[in-house]
A and B are shown apart, each in its own frame.
Chain A
Amino acid sequence: MITTDELQINIGPQHPSTHGVFRMLITVDGETVVNLEPVFGYLHRNHEQLAEVNTYLQNMPYTDRLDYFNSMANNHAYALAVEKLAGIEVPERAEYIRVMMVELTRILNHAGAVGFMINDMGAWQTPLAFGIREREKILDLFEMVSGARMMCNYFRFGGVVRDIPDEFIPRLKKLLIAMPAYVDELERLLRENEILLARSEGIGILPREVAVSYGVTGPVLRGSGIAYDIRKAEPYSIYDRFDFDVPVGSVGDVYDRFLVRIEEMRQSRRILEQIIEQLPDASGGHINPKARQNVRPPVGDAYARVESPKGELGFYLVSDGGPKPYRYKVRAPSFINLTPLGDMCRGYKVADIVVILGSIDIVMGEVDR
């Protein structure tokens, strides 16, 4: 009988599978993970303190850079927080445009997340290319409305920068017609794939009790079997007008998270179809509130949250009546979802860590802020 010693090793901070600069301090016994400690902070950019020296509007482009995959969702959460704080009304059409952008963001995030997760499994680039193909089309749409593909900076307090151009809706329709075939194809390629099943089934199980106690949200929580979606739990914006399902997993492993994301893409498409049906015409009001450059909310605080593609994204703002937030706090879903990584990885093999990390779908820009 050979006696084995525990060994402490680092994965990261510079490692291609860590989705940024992120260090995992792991204790291994042979190939088995005994303990894992996530170490964050390598990408700290002083986001929250910076926001306290900027005016409310000046913070909008900085929120793009939190979760740079989903700049529209970040914009939405921040705009909602300031609107709540200052009591600003949003015109009907602007609400629809906002939800349209956020749901497109969800599709592109999940397409990318699935692709990158499988990339982490070792299926180098091919599934990722399938994943980001439709993302590219959505980014073209974002560029058309906002002027930028990723750093959209499209939302304003009380509306959006500008109305969508005339050619937007036809192109979106074209995309939505192709969507089901695209998702089906992704499923055909991956869903029953034996390698994927072998690497993801029963791996990285996050029991629902643990998930809730850590405050995990988003597809990770839903993968663990809890149908918690802020769009349903606390319908913000106009989400109460749309009919869509909340996909949940039954085991809480990597495979469930993968399936939940694929299903959410379908649900987002459903929402988009309803938006196109209900979208009011441009006569509904001025959707670019140019006058609200210098918003000075009354003294008080507000917390607004949205179901970002990664989970609950919340902004907590305290106003002292001035043009700048007195306190600005981001509740970043990636950060909270990353904390139970140790529990998810304990007992699995070193090679599984990378897959589990990929299944959480983190963006370090949001984790470290």
Chain B
Amino acid sequence: MSNDTLTHSITFTETPATLTVVVDPTPQITRGRAVVVERRRPKAAGWSLLQGLGVVVDHWRKSFRKLEDPTQIAGTFTTEYPEERLPLPEAYRNMPILLFDDATGHELCTSCFQCQRICPPQVIHMTQAKDPETGKPVPAVSEFIIEYDACMSCGFCAEVCPFDAIKMDHNYELSTADHSSLTVHKAGLLRPVSYYQSIAPTFWAEAEASAYKKLEANKKRRPASIGIAPQMIEQVKAAHKLGDGQPEAASPPAPVATAPAPDAGSAATPASNAALATSEGDLPTDKAARLAAIRARNEAKKAAEQSASPAASAAPTASDGDLPTDKAARLAAIRARNEAKKAAAQAATDPAQPAAEGAATALATPDAPLTDAPPAPATPDAPLDEKAARLAAIRARNAAKKAAQAEEE
């Protein structure tokens, strides 16, 4: 068949007459052309077999030549695997690992959840660390789990990580008889930065500056030993004791972390509130005030949501009496919380306009003592915290207002 017959159109003869389809899928080939492959016949019987055998013999002959590197073509190149290994390219990716800073032990991960979100098989799970004192999330990760058994090594996690905290490891010898060990927890995932630098020097050189800059910023927001790799904690503690004598740096979390959170909807509110009041007594003023304000806001929100339950009205005001008077800011905030609760309860029992307004006015009062509250004596950064407390109280009031409005509707 020659070239020109290829452009002929095709007519289907077997299709029904009404549906005669004429198809010519051959495109106009501009650069290059259609070449018909040549069908060769052997020159003589057995010739081709000899020719093929020649190729094999040629290779056998070449196989005695030992090659230095695997990119060469003809010859033998042998790597005696368990003893020696071929160098892997930097881009090689197998399983994700987490990095921590060699010097300070701080993990680079800030639990931004980017990798968890992008992971196609959804094998990354993480929990953000919380400040044990305030309960606020901090830029550190408390638990990080990767299911290595379901990971598809696509490398998206390392690609999206804005902090260069998650990288792809080069270790490919992961086989194990223990399946459960393939669910790897944080301690098993963490590797020092120096390790990653050794396997991918140019990649790390590109990322290093921004990674450390971001880490420095995040370190400041990590209280106590949060965000330090478990394998480095002892070392870091020892260094602190030896160096500037600050054993508190890695002190255990304050007892408040274990205190039960107040629940507006439950009948046990008075008891838990009392517990709260006593445990708060141990805390420094500024922090306690802030905490109370935050709780107040949360209570107000919760109360609004659960306002139908009569238990909310049982919120006590008596516990306030136990508190020291100089902590005016804290008191004000707690009052704000209680007022909000009350207002919400009122709104629930009597959903008329005055109730909502009553809540608003009741909430307006705590502002007065707050504004001229004396600064807490011991702490140098009291004004700032006072401000924060006030801000929180205002926010609580606004939340209560909003709740009241919602109730009205």
- A contact residues vs B (CB 8 Å cutoff): 54-55, 57-62, 126, 130, 137, 140, 143-148, 151, 153, 161-162, 165, 171, 174-175, 178, 181-182, 185, 188-195, 197, 201, 208-209, 212-213, 225-229, 232-234, 240, 242-251, 255-256, 259-260, 262-263, 267, 290, 293
A209 (CB) vs chain B CBs: closest residue:
B10
Say which residue of B12, B31, B43, B46 sits within 8 Å of A243 (CB atoms). B31
In the A-B complex, the 7 residue pairs with the closest CB atoms: A227-B34, A233-B27, A61-B154, A147-B93, A192-B48, A259-B37, A147-B91
Say which residue of A143, A181, A213 sits within 8 Å of B89 (CB atoms). A143
A241 (CB) vs chain B CBs: closest residue:
B31
Q: Which residues of A contact B42 (CB under 8 A)?
A: 192, 194, 197
B40 (CB) vs chain A CBs: closest residue:
A192
B168–A194 contact, CB under 8 A? no
Say which residue of B6, B71, B73 sits within 8 Å of A182 (CB atoms). B73
Q: Which residues of B contact A227 (CB under 8 A)?
A: 6, 26-27, 29, 34
What mask results when residues 37 to 64 of chain B are scored 1 for a CB within 8 Å of chain A, else 0? 1111111011111011011100000000
Q: Which of B26, B37, B48 has the most CB of A within 10 A?
A: B37
Closest CB in chain B relative to A215 CB, distance in Å:
10
B156–A57 contact, CB under 8 A? yes
A-B contact pairs, 7 of them (CB 8 A): A147-B93, A194-B46, A232-B30, A244-B31, A245-B33, A259-B38, A259-B39
Q: Which residues of A contact B26 (CB under 8 A)?
A: 226-228
A213–B55 contact, CB under 8 A? no
Closest CB in chain B relative to A180 CB, distance in Å:
12
B5 (CB) vs chain A CBs: closest residue:
A225
Closest CB in chain A relative to B315 CB, distance in Å:
43
- Give complex CA distance A60, B160 in Å: 14
Closest CB in chain B relative to A23 CB, distance in Å:
28
B35 (CB) vs chain A CBs: closest residue:
A245
- B contact residues vs A (CB 8 Å cutoff): 1, 6, 10, 12-14, 23, 25-27, 29-43, 45-49, 51-52, 54-56, 70-71, 73, 88-93, 118, 120, 152-156, 159-160, 168
Closest CB in chain B relative to A317 CB, distance in Å:
17
A58–B120 contact, CB under 8 A? yes
13 more contacts with CB within 8 A, not counting A189-B52, A209-B14, A250-B37, are: A147-B155, A178-B73, A189-B56, A191-B48, A193-B48, A194-B42, A195-B49, A227-B29, A233-B27, A246-B33, A249-B37, A250-B1, A290-B159
- Give complex CA distance A248, B1 in Å: 10
Q: Which residues of A contact B120 (CB under 8 A)?
A: 54, 58-59, 61-62
Closest CB in chain A relative to B10 CB, distance in Å:
5
Known A-B contacts A57-B156, A137-B71; A243 and B32 likewise in contact (beta carbons under 8 Å): yes
Say which residue of B27, B31, B51, B91 sits within 8 Å of A146 (CB atoms). B91
B155 (CB) vs chain A CBs: closest residue:
A147
A248–B6 contact, CB under 8 A? yes
A209–B12 contact, CB under 8 A? yes
Say which residue of A59, A130, A171, A197 sits within 8 Å of B71 (CB atoms). A171
- Give complex CA distance A190, B153 in Å: 38
A244–B32 contact, CB under 8 A? yes
Q: Which residues of A contact B56 (CB under 8 A)?
A: 126, 189
Q: Which residues of B contact A189 (CB under 8 A)?
A: 51-52, 55-56
Closest CB in chain A relative to B57 CB, distance in Å:
11
Known A-B contacts A61-B154, A147-B155, A193-B52; A260 and B92 likewise in contact (beta carbons under 8 Å): no
- Give complex CA distance A305, B1 in Å: 30
B10–A245 contact, CB under 8 A? no
- Give complex CA distance A55, B153 in Å: 17
B1–A293 contact, CB under 8 A? no
Known A-B contacts A147-B91, A250-B1; A263 and B47 likewise in contact (beta carbons under 8 Å): no
